[in-house]
Amino acid sequence: MKVGFAGAGKVGCSLGRHFNETRHILSGYYSRTKSSAQGAAEFTKSTYFQDLDTLVENSDIVFITVPDDAISGIWEQIKHMPISGKMICHCSGSLSSEIFKDIEETGAYGFSVHPLLAVSDRYTSYRELPNALFTIEGNEKYLSKIEGLLSSVNLRTVRINADVKPRYHGAAVLCSNLVVALVKAAQDELRMCGFPEESLSSAIAPLLLGNAKKVILAGAEAALTGPIERNDFGTVQKHLQTFSGLDRDIYRTLSKKTLEIACTRHPEQDYKALEQLLADYSG
């Protein structure tokens, strides 16, 4: 089963290289920009295709690895080609296979195959793919073939329902991109405390990495420390008084979620005053 890619970006290059390293046969790459597709083909020891038709013709499985907004445009082109029996996949987290409109009429099978991973680099991120869980959904009859394909190259899969994909992807964003924003907020505040630029990351590294490790290994309740868990009303009040703007909004919103965890961990504690403070505080 030859795998080809339409879209030679971060995910296309990473998946292709992984397939190549695990000795799965690749057809190659088509992309908007010739040099991207040529670079990907070279990186994965496969072929550069100068048009979408030739890529599709030479592939049994086509991964559409373009930005989410471009997927339906590529599908609109592919659906008019002779694709009966082929498997068409995209890698979007928020979209389902339903984006492949009228696929039943083509005789092809559609799937979404999403790696739960921040793929940040075309040429190095492939090394992290074996750590990622791939969520898959699509044509019921042939879903096991996609599972078989991924497990044959040592990638882990779990099935997901099409209708929960936006929620699922939102959850991924919460623990990924939004953590980046949270770290940036903490660094902005530390800068205002006078921390030199070069120490902003190393200063918070033990806090950030230690918490990430603990919450994954032991769970949210066991990992929770800090003024909310201790019910330190005065400390939280001072934080709210000190922060302003977006950083205060972030602090206040996440403190409400933190309070939910604290209440579950210490049902004997009375957190009402803190709850009121977080609900009413307006600066």
Contact status: 33 vs ligand NAP (CB under 6 A): yes
Q: Closest approach of Cβ 37 to ligand NAP, in Å? A: 6
Structure tokens at 200: 């902003």
Q: Closest approach of Cβ 43 to ligand NAP, in Å? A: 12
Helix residue spans in the chain (DSSP H): 10-21, 34-43, 52-57, 68-78, 143-152, 165-174, 177-192, 200-218, 220-223, 233-242, 245-265, 272-280
Cα(63)–Cα(88) distance, rounded to whole angstroms?
Answer: 6
Q: Is 125 exposed, middle or buried (0-12, 13-18, 19+ CB in 10 A)?
A: buried
Under rule CB under 6 A, how many of the chain's residues touch ligand NAP?
A: 27
CB atoms near residue 242 (< 10 Å): 12
Contact status: 32 vs ligand NAP (CB under 6 A): yes
Contact status: 62 vs ligand NAP (CB under 6 A): no
Is residue 116 within 8 A of residue 172, CB to CB? The reply is yes
Q: Please choose, out of 8-16, 140-148, 229-237, 270-278, the segment that lies near ligand NAP by the rule CB under 6 A.
A: 8-16
Contact status: 68 vs ligand NAP (CB under 6 A): yes
By C-beta, is 7 or 110 nearer to ligand NAP? 7
User: 24, 54, 99, 118: which one contacts ligand NAP (CB under 6 A)?
Assistant: 118
By C-beta, is 74 or 228 nearer to ligand NAP? 74
Cα(132)–Cα(116) distance, rounded to whole angstroms?
Answer: 6
Q: Nearest to residue 116, comparing CAs of 168, 152, 44?
A: 168
Q: Closest approach of Cβ 254 to ligand NAP, in Å? A: 23
By C-beta, is 118 or 263 nearer to ligand NAP? 118
Residue nearest to ligand NAP (CB): 9
By C-beta, is 44 or 92 nearer to ligand NAP? 92
One character per residue 74-113, x = contact with ligand NAP (rule: CB under 6 A) = x---------------xxxx--------------------
Q: Nearest to residue 130, comparing CAs of 112, 115, 148?
A: 115
Q: Closest approach of Cβ 77 to ligand NAP, in Å? A: 9
Cα→Cα distances 15→49, 72, 89, 142, Å? 17, 21, 12, 20
Cα→Cα distances 171→174, 179, 198, 264, Å? 5, 12, 32, 21
Query: Which residues form the interface with ligand NAP (CB under 6 A)?
Result: 6-12, 31-33, 36, 65-68, 70, 73-74, 90-93, 114-115, 117-119
